[in-house]
């Protein structure tokens, strides 16, 4: 099996090669939280680079629940033309384009001024940074049902806009991941306790989405291979959830790991021994592959062709790449031509993991903004400079978001 072999998904659709542009948090919405012109140009770059699968950065299913103030929201058809333009650009290179859909739960900044919901009223533990996130309110059953319907509606709208599939985000400590983890889910009802109960919302969303979209529309899941926190969602839990998903018509499971509290997805967590290499979730994927009936994808740290080839040779269907494709969106085409490019940012060795993770994300987003502005990337950007400029932009976007929400309330 080659890195450039096609992959036929369970729904019969073909992905032209085994390289996926994994989701990154672009935060490049326009003033109405639809895809901006800069965001559409960014995706044209990835389409031109010939990745077989392009997964968008997370699109929020609820404007009141954002991972960041300039995020894209899709909850009705008001701006569907902008989403159609986004899908058209992303698929113009011949690859599949899927929309990642998400709800942050308790991982929503307090500055946004919105009520924060979660499975249980348990705050994030980020040390001195904890105050940036409010203590959430435990969701009612009605609110859980509403979230399920929002995921379903956003999936239908994504299909109407021309996306070939959705990826339901159940990793990285966001809402569905919070339900799965015993550290953040202390409920005593049918949504908490056993793993079957903690997985209930994810499974219900998958069933409901699969029931309403077309048979050729891909339904995929992003799942933590582990939380990398003592007592959290474990590799054994991940394996068990994949077993539960086997019969639900899932076309792909992407394996990642971590959360804001233990940012393993940035290549740094409390288990440094496990994460001291590229493709640092591959070890977990091999175990999960033993029970999975759907194709698997591994994302995390891949930047060299030989590592991506190792992933595919191990039996994992796809190699997900994020940071390296933010630096060089033409990487798949270059690898196909036999070049050995291996893009990398300046390393960040700070001891404070959450701040180091924020700096890494800021450095990645710095590249994305430059690409959207038709400029060359700058992988040697100082992480401190990237973080400072990101924080300044966040303050500006936060004010804009709060004004937008106030206008929505006034118009309602």
2 is a domain residue? no
pLDDT at 268: 41
226 is a domain residue? yes
pTM listed for this prediction:
0.94
255 is a domain residue? yes
204 is a domain residue? yes
**Sign, CA torsion 382/388/393/398:** positive
Residue 7: φ, ψ to 5°: -120, 125
**Which run of H or E residues covers position 297?**
strand 296-299
Task: Provide the token pair at 125.
Answer: 């533990």
What's the structural domain count of the chain?
A: 1
77 is a domain residue? yes
Question: Among the listed ranges 17-31, 122-136, 180-194, which one has the minimum average pLDDT value?
Answer: 122-136
367 is a domain residue? no
Task: Provide the token pair at 365.
Answer: 């987003």
pLDDT at 270 over 60: no
pLDDT at 267 over 70: no
146 is a domain residue? yes
Tokens 């390296």 belong to 324
In contact, 248 and 211? CB cutoff 8 Å: no
pLDDT at 266 over 70: no
In contact, 276 and 301? CB cutoff 8 Å: no
What confidence category does residue 269 fall into, taking pLDDT thresholds of 50, 70 and 90? Answer: very low
Average pLDDT over residues 180-209: 97
The CATH number for 11's domain is 3.20.20.70
Nearest to 294 by CA among 167, 192, 178: 167
Query: For 387-401, how does the pLDDT look when each residue is reduced to its tens digit (9 = 90+)?
Result: 999 999 999 999 999
pLDDT at 273 over 50: no
Query: For 148-185, how does the pLDDT look when each residue is reduced to its tens digit (9 = 90+)?
Result: 999 999 999 999 999 999 999 999 999 999 999 999 99
Where in the sequence is the domain holding 21, given as residue range(s)? 7-343
Half-sphere exposure of 331 (CA within 13 A, CB side): 27
What confidence category does residue 22 fall into, taking pLDDT thresholds of 50, 70 and 90? Answer: very high
Average pLDDT over residues 267-280: 46
In contact, 367 and 326? CB cutoff 8 Å: yes
81 is a domain residue? yes
């Amino acid at each position: 099996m080659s890195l450039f072999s096609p992959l036929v998904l369970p729904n019969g659709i073909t992905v032209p090669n085994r390289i996926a542009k994994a989701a990154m948090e672009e935060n490049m919405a326009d003033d109405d939280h639809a895809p901006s012109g800069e965001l559409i140009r960014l995706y044209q770059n990835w389409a031109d680079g010939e990745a077989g699968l392009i997964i968008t950065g997370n699109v929020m299913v609820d404007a009141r629940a954002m991972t960041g103030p300039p995020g894209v929201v899709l909850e009705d058809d008001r701006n569907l033309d902008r989403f159609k333009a986004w899908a058209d650009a992303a698929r113009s290179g011949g690859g599949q384009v899927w929309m990642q859909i998400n709800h942050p739960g308790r991982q929503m900044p307090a500055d946004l001024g919105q009520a924060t919901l979660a499975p249980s009223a348990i705050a994030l533990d980020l040390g001195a940074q904890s105050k940036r996130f409010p203590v959430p309110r435990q969701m009612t059953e009605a609110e859980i049902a509403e979230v399920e319907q929002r995921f379903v509606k956003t999936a239908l709208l994504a299909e109407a806009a021309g996306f070939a599939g959705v990826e339901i985000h159940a990793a990285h400590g966001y809402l569905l991941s919070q339900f799965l983890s015993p550290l953040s889910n202390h409920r005593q009802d049918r949504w908490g306790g056993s793993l079957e109960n903690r997985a209930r919302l994810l499974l219900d969303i998958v069933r409901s989405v699969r029931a309403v979209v077309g048979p050729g529309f891909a339904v995929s899941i992003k799942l933590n291979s582990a939380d990398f926190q003592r007592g959290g969602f474990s590799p054994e839990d991940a394996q068990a959830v994949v077993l539960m998903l086997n019969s639900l018509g899932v076309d792909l499971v992407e394996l990642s790991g971590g959360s804001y509290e233990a940012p393993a997805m940035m290549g740094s967590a409390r288990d440094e021994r496990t994460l001291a290499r590229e493709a640092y979730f591959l070890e977990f994927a091999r175990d999960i592959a033993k029970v999975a009936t759907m194709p698997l994808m591994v994302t995390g740290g891949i930047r060299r062709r030989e590592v991506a080839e190792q992933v595919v040779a191990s039996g994992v269907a796809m190699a997900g790449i994020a940071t390296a494709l933010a630096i060089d969106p033409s990487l798949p085409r270059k690898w196909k031509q036999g070049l050995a490019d291996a893009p990398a940012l300046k390393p960040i060795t700070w001891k404070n993991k959450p701040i180091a993770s924020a700096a890494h994300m800021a450095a990645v987003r710095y590249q994305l903004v430059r690409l959207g502005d038709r400029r060359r990337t700058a992988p040697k950007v100082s992480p401190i400079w990237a973080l400072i400029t990101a924080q300044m932009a966040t303050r500006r976007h936060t004010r804009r978001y709060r004004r937008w929400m106030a206008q929505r309330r006034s118009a309602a």
